[in-house]
Amino acid sequence: MRLGSIVMIVLLLVLIGAGTVQTKSLHISANTPETALQSFFAQVKAKHWDDAFAMVQPGSGVEKESFIKDLGGNNESLKTISALQDVKTKILRESGNESDLRADLQWSTAVGALHESRDFKLVNDEGQWKIVWTPPAKNDGPPKPLPTTYLRWDVVQRGSSRDEWGVQNVEPPRMRIISMNAIEYQGGVTILGEVVNEDTVPGFVTINAILLDKDGNSIAEESSFDKISHTLLPKEISPFRVDFANRKLADVKSVRISPTNILVPAAADPVVGVFNQRIEKDPNGKSILRGELVTQGGQTVNIPHVLATFYDQSGKVIWVSDGYVDKALLPQQAVPFAVDLRDDLAGQVQNYRITVNYYNSNRS
Amino acid sequence: MAIHKSSTRSTVILLAIVIVLASAAPSILRAFADEPGAGTIQISTTGAGPREVEETTQKAIERQYTAAWKNMTAALKDNRADLLDAAFVGSMRDQLARRIEQQKKSGTSTRYADGAHQVNVVFYSPEGTALELRDTTEIEQQTLDGSKVIHSEKVRQQYLVIFTLVEDRWKVRIMQALPTS
Amino acid sequence: MKILGLFLAIILTFASAAFAQDLQVPQNAVAGEGASISTSGSGSATFYLTGPGTSLKRDFKRGETISLSADDLAYAGRYTAALDGGGAQSFFVTAAKPAKLNFMARPSRVPVAHPDVISGVVFVLDRNDNLITTPTTVNFQLGIAGSAPTTRPLQSKNGIAWIKAGSGNREGAAQFTASVGDISAKRVVQQVASDPCNLRMKAQADGKNIQLQTEPIKDCSGNAVPDGTIVTFSESAGGRGRSTVDARVKHGVARATLPSVPGATLTVASGVVLGNEIRWSGGQ
């Protein structure tokens, strides 16, 4: 009898607790469209997908699974390893029971902050503002794997570690810097240029730059980090950008550039097409280079990385920018991308070239 | 046992001289070491070929050859093979290590004091991974058994030295004393 | 101090000269071959030998001959024999006959039809890795299967012989050999196709797309460029945007699919080499 009372009390406490939590999640503050959207992203930030989905207006084509994939990512894309950091909302239009809002989202990722701007429609449903979710555009038919039989290079290393003077070893591939330009930008010095793999084997290249003063002394040393496509196949060209913060071009007499290149195993797949490239203004009036990425083979690309090289009228490289795409590329499915272009250079850009670098979970 | 008188006398005199010299040896070595230019290495690249010696390579060789002499001197004096790896590689490293091993076994050591080096690069390989130089220097060499100086001599010596690039660092691979013509 | 040093050095030289008579060192010692040192006098003494790779200490009886093994004199250079009672003599050991060729052939890959791109450097060594400084004739031979090799004899200087040669017109594994007498060292230099030459493509309508394909891509000597080489197809339609595909050469040709945009200009390039241009009419 006494045990039964204790069980009843514990059960009652659990039910009260559960009821409180449930009430809290359902009665989120949604008095205005803006607070509703903020609350929605608070749930997304905490990855409380059920609570976030509860704020979505039910309708045709709205499925929880695709909703979670849309916001949380899938196929080992960059989104799957990102965390929502900050949300800024803005009302675009408001009329009675409907509102259009813009959310500027900042995601923190392993490769730096990722910005996303999304527009939402909210409707007032019996006193609660609900989000009208637009499901992501579906591609024609389900993705199907396509076999590819592209070339792959492997490097067979010598097993012995003893000194082998004069023994022939395979050299690293021949890389050549085909253009270079030093500019001043945002209180620093930036070195821009392009490097080509002139060899018949793939190589991994890093550009190291040293700024020298008038006496030939080193002022600063930096490398291209991720502003380059490191793995270059034969005859492949990559832009590079090396940033030196808090430096003045007037203090620099010369720049010593030294590419470090090694022979690496690589595969010739996947081939990524870059379609519908165009420079346009985003809703905030910033110049953006947009396009769509499509893999032409049968391989999924988990994290695409877009590098854009901008040229002036004389063909000189005047800027290099890059951007990561938070969605994975499935075979033959187009994924949009956008890369910033400096507004002060937009008028000077006569030509541009896009290269796609990628990181795959199974890439060796 | 028959011993000639004159031979005994000369032996005693010479032994006395040797003892005096042995006690004065550190001072002599210091005196040589104090000479301007002792141990300094300046490399001329005039006439080097087929590849032109880059300024950075010349500086690196100067630095590494100075280090090679310093390390070799310390290693043979203190019988420490571990000092060799920074500047020597291949058969030259093995050669010095073997000598140190034998010195350790017999309780001997060698002291070197090198004078100024006149160094000319005579060959720099087309692909830039091997370099040969000819060095003319005066060296003071002492052989010691424990702390006793067995022999001391000062010679003018010419060396052929081959440097090779090992993991981005120039190291001495061959250092061969040449017969004086 | 310097004067004292000089004085003592002079005395030491005379003293050594007096004792040097006790030792008869070899005059023509060869590395890796045994030798002997004869001594004079009587009584026991300690013998020291220092030289490259060697530091010997032996008790012996004056008047006996001291035998030095091949291992004691393995390395070429200057050796000093000394006795503990005083007396020392120096001698040189020269390198033995050629036994090893250290052959550095560069590069391992080279584009065809380029002058002076292959280099070979030979270090002539004896079996103990001593540099043979006496001039030695080194024969260099470079050739690819199916064609006569070129041979050049060159004299070594300070132990080194070197050569520079151009690559041939045909791709393939070139055999690069250096030899001295019956000793030889062989290396392989892979001659690979050079930059594409006369890069040309053709376009064909395929529904909403264009199928682009190059003609077999070859260098100016007629060698096929290797598979995996990047070929960039571009389609520029002015204000209507552009599209690009970095395709890979497969079985000698490169292919890509681009959206069909009537009026667009299609171009092809590989590395810094540009190919032909097509004005796309829409496949009509």
The pLDDT tens digits for B99-139 are 999 999 999 999 999 888 999 999 999 989 999 999 999 99
**Residue B19 scores a pLDDT above 90:** no
Q: Which residues of A touch B164 (CB under 8 A)?
A: 165
**Residue A61 scores a pLDDT above 80:** no
Q: What is the per-residue DSSP string for chain B?
A: ----HHHHHHHHHHHHHHHHHHHHHHHHHHHHHHSTTTT-EEEE-TT--BSPPPHHHHHHHHHHHHHHHHHHHHHHHHT-GGGSTTTB-HHHHHHHHHHHHHHHHHTEEEEEEEEEEEEEEEEE-TTSSEEEEEEEEEEEEEEEETTEEEEEEEEEEEEEEEEEEETTEEEEEEEEEEPP-
Window B:4-33, CB contacts with C under 8 Å: 10-11, 14-15, 17-18, 20-21, 24, 27-28, 30-32
Residue indicated by tokens 């004393």 = B177
Mean pLDDT of chain A: 83
Q: CB-CB: which of C109, C225, C244 is closest to A274?
A: C244
- A353 shares contact with chain C (CB less than 8 Å): yes
Per domain, the residue ranges of chain B are 5-178
A269 or B81: which carries more pLDDT confidence? B81
Say if CB A358 and CB A273 are below 8 A apart.
Answer: no
Q: Do C119 and B32 touch (CB under 8 A)?
A: no
State pLDDT tens for residues A335-346: 999 999 999 998
- So what's the pLDDT on residue C12? 47
| C227 Ramachandran zone, left/alpha/beta (phi>0; psi -120 to 50) | beta
CA–CA separation, A4 and A9 (whole Å): 9
Sheet holding A237-244, edge to edge: A175-185, A188-197, A237-244
Window C:144-183, CB contacts with B under 8 Å: 157-160, 162, 164
Q: Which residues of A touch C246 (CB under 8 A)?
A: 236, 271-272, 355-356
- C277 shares contact with chain A (CB less than 8 Å): no
Q: Least CA distance to C190: which residue of chain A?
A: A170
Reported confidence tier of residue B181, pLDDT bands at 50, 70, 90: low
Q: Least CA distance to C106: which residue of chain B?
A: B127
Residue spans of chain C under pLDDT 50: 1-2, 6, 8-9, 11-20
State pLDDT tens for residues A121-154: 899 888 888 888 887 666 555 556 666 666 787 8
Cis peptide bond upstream of A270, omega within 30: yes
- Please state which CATH number belongs to domain B5-178: 3.10.450.50
Average pLDDT over residues A62-84: 84
**Residue A28 scores a pLDDT above 50:** no
Give all chains having 3 or more CB-to-CB distances under 8 Å with chain C.
A, B
Question: Over pLDDT 70: what percentage of chain B?
Answer: 78
Residue A27 three-state SS: coil
Q: CB-CB: which of B106, B129, B143 is closest to C80?
A: B143
State pLDDT tens for residues A160-203: 556 667 776 778 899 999 999 999 999 999 999 999 999 999 99
Structural domains in chain C, sorted by start: 2-94 (2.60.40), 100-192 (2.60.40.1930), 196-279 (2.60.40.1930)
Average pLDDT over residues A303-309: 95
Q: Do C158 and B123 touch (CB under 8 A)?
A: yes
> Any residues with CB less than 8 A from the CB of C61 and at least 6 apart, and which?
C42, C43, C44, C45
- So what's the pLDDT on residue B47? 85
A267 or B103: which carries more pLDDT confidence? B103
- So what's the pLDDT on residue B1? 36
Say if CB C222 and CB C171 are below 8 A apart.
Answer: no
What number of CA atoms fall less than 13 Å from residue A338's CA on the CB side?
13
- So what's the pLDDT on residue C215? 96
Question: Over pLDDT 70: what percentage of chain A?
Answer: 84
- So what's the pLDDT on residue A135? 74
Structural domains in chain A, sorted by start: 25-132 (3.10.450.100), 171-267 (2.60.40.1620), 272-359 (2.60.40.10)
Q: Which helix (H) or strand (E) holds A59?
A: none
- B164 shares contact with chain A (CB less than 8 Å): yes
Q: Which residues of C touch A272 (CB under 8 A)?
A: 245-246
Say if CB C170 and CB C221 are below 8 A apart.
Answer: yes
Say if CB B143 and CB B151 are below 8 A apart.
Answer: yes
Point out the least confidently predicted range of A5-19, A45-59, B146-160, C116-130: A5-19
Q: Do C109 and A296 touch (CB under 8 A)?
A: no
Q: Do A273 and C245 touch (CB under 8 A)?
A: yes
B37 or C146: which carries more pLDDT confidence? C146
Q: Which helix (H) or strand (E) holds A14?
A: helix A2-26
CA distance C68 to chain A (A): 30
Question: Over pLDDT 90: what percentage of chain C?
Answer: 70
In whole angstroms, how far apart are CA A88 and each of A33, A110, A132, C74?
13, 22, 18, 80
